[in-house]
Structure 1
Amino acid sequence: MPTPTKAFPPLTLVLAATPSLGIGQGGTLPWPQLKKEMGYFARVTKRVSEGGRRINAVVMGRKTWDSIPEKFRPLKGRLNVVITRTPEELSRSLGMKGGGDKEVEVEGPIVAESVMAALERLRAFDHTAEEEREEESRGKIHRVFVIGGASVYHAALELPQAERVLLTKIKKEYDCDTFFGVDLDREGSGWVRRSRGELEEWTGESVQEGGLEQEGVGFEFGMYERVR
């Protein structure tokens, strides 16, 4: 009898949004750079459980990839996955930049044409890592984070694997041309907000009650889970 396939880690969406669910303007964030929020994002998406070599994956659209300054991509300490309708074009572009060194092999990017295709690529990566567990450059997938943009969030929310949303609530309105598609706080949305303690336990972060303020912008970290 074949060995049952281990269930793949669920998807966690990570985003920041205004009260009207605005998440972007002109391909960038409309609010000032919030270093504390950026630090939180980096730590949470990098952090893995103790024991064994593991790595988290961050799944993003091509526009989100392009919005990251070139010197910072791929995002360090995470396996980067880029969704694009023209995967061959992006793969050729990355190949011209010498994407074969050891660090890029670990962090990617992996290129896929849809979120489902990305999950299949990650399953293949995870299986290969299990077979080659002695190889220093590979790590098993621990968590999978979806980090934007709007169309990738939308596609991820359609999948049963989407189980969690880490939402930074920006407590001020800004002009936005891109919005998150679900009001998680709306009754009947299919999502429930978890307590600060549950957020801290899952992320490994100490979260200040009532939120933080930086650059004149108040913001608060929260976690939502899908109602099953």
Structure 2
Amino acid sequence: MSPHCPPATAAAFANSATKLPPLTLVVATTPITLPCQPQGISRLGIGHGGTLPWPRIKPLPKRLNVIITRDESGMVCERAVVEWRAAKERERQKERECHSETATECKKCSSADKDDSIDGQQEENPDILVSNSVESALTTLQDNFGLFSQGGKRSLGSVLVIGGGEIYASSLSLDSSTFGHKMRIVVTDVRRPATEVEKNEPSNSTNGFDCDTFFPVDHLIGNEEWREASPAEVSEWVGEKIPEGWVWERDVAVRFLGFERK
């Protein structure tokens, strides 16, 4: 599959026969109180200086990675391919070590490699798509994937969106009828409690980090438009066990929350 997505029109996006799985926005936020008379306004900060909270693109080898960028030089795609191949090689190295430890088939090894020599595998095409908009990327997914594997098309289990404020805003503005399912948000709520009161109840902590970029939805808890999901639901959405309540990492408290648009 080509790593580039062709431009898409809204009509083509809406008229596609294939509907996508739920669209889940994955975002790390921290509450920021902005000075405003007569009282401060709290918003969900997601970054500072227009940068994302991670320094590099890190595509995963067992997922289709869709990158949305304004870059027209191809450099973003090239960087993503390099990262993807490096991640794939790390995965293969683990499998080599697994095979060297036992002569029997190791349960940790992927089923795709059971019938082939790991060292003799042919070079794979990176599972990477590069697009210039959320709409264009989703249209390409609709055209190339189905809800179930059939007729040479792979199935698409879930669509996770990780990005900056503009990407989230574009996703939230989509008409859910065009991609078939409800919109979801998985929030990593990050706090840096400073006082004993805040440490006893991290949800009272604000302004622990410097942010000038904000999530498009200011309030999710108690928002009539969004239903708060249980930890079990969130775990199902992201494909791994999500801990309940606050988890401490040194002086930072973190909790995981999920919301689904009603």
Higher Rg: 2
Q: Give the corresponding residue for 1:16.
A: 28
Counterpart of 1:77 (choices 62, 87, 90) is 62
Q: Give the corresponding residue for 2:142.
A: 123
1:205 and 1:75 map into 2 onto residues whose CA distance is 15
Quick one: which amino acid aligns to residue 113 of structure 1? N
Are 1:91 and 1:111, in contact at CA under 8 Å, matched by a contact in 2? no
SS in 1 for 2:17: coil
Unmatched tracts of structure 2, length 5 or more: 1-15, 33-43, 86-121, 177-181, 193-207
Matched, 1:200 2:235: yes
Are 1:171 and 1:217, in contact at CA under 8 Å, matched by a contact in 2? yes
Aligned-residue identity in percent = 35
Q: CA deviation at 1:91?
A: 6.9
For normalisation by structure 1, the TM-score amounts to 0.65
SS in 2 for 1:122: helix
Matched, 1:223 2:258: yes
Q: 1:149 to 1:189 in 2, by over 3 A?
A: farther
Instruction: Give the 5 Å matches for 1:130-169.
Output: 130-132=150-152, 139-161=154-176, 163-169=183-189
Q: CA deviation at 1:181?
A: 1.3
SS in 2 for 1:121: helix
Counterpart of 2:220 (choices 185, 208, 218) is 185
Q: CA deviation at 1:225?
A: 0.4
Quick one: which amino acid aligns to residue 94 of structure 1? E
Are 2:245 and 2:256, in contact at CA under 8 Å, matched by a contact in 1? no
Are 1:163 and 1:226, in contact at CA under 8 Å, matched by a contact in 2? yes
2:22 and 2:235 map into 1 onto residues whose CA distance is 18
For normalisation by structure 2, the TM-score amounts to 0.57
Are 2:52 and 2:164, in contact at CA under 8 Å, matched by a contact in 1? no
Please say which of residues 144-153 and 193-202 is displaced more in the overlay. Answer: 193-202
Q: 1:131 to 1:92 in 2, by over 3 A?
A: farther
Are 2:186 and 2:257, in contact at CA under 8 Å, matched by a contact in 1? yes
1:204 and 1:223 map into 2 onto residues whose CA distance is 13
SS in 2 for 1:176: coil
Cα displacement string for residues 76-111 of structure 1 (whole angstroms, at most 9, x for unaligned residues): 22111111234x42279639x7899844x3421x11
Quick one: which amino acid aligns to residue 18 of structure 1? T
Q: CA RMSD in A?
A: 3.1
1:102 and 1:5 map into 2 onto residues whose CA distance is 33
Q: CA deviation at 1:203?
A: 3.8
Aligned positions, number: 175
Quick one: which amino acid aligns to residue 174 of structure 1? F
1:202 and 1:6 map into 2 onto residues whose CA distance is 20
1:102 and 1:188 map into 2 onto residues whose CA distance is 48
Q: CA deviation at 1:189?
A: 5.1
Quick one: which amino acid aligns to residue 191 of structure 1? W
SS in 2 for 1:8: coil
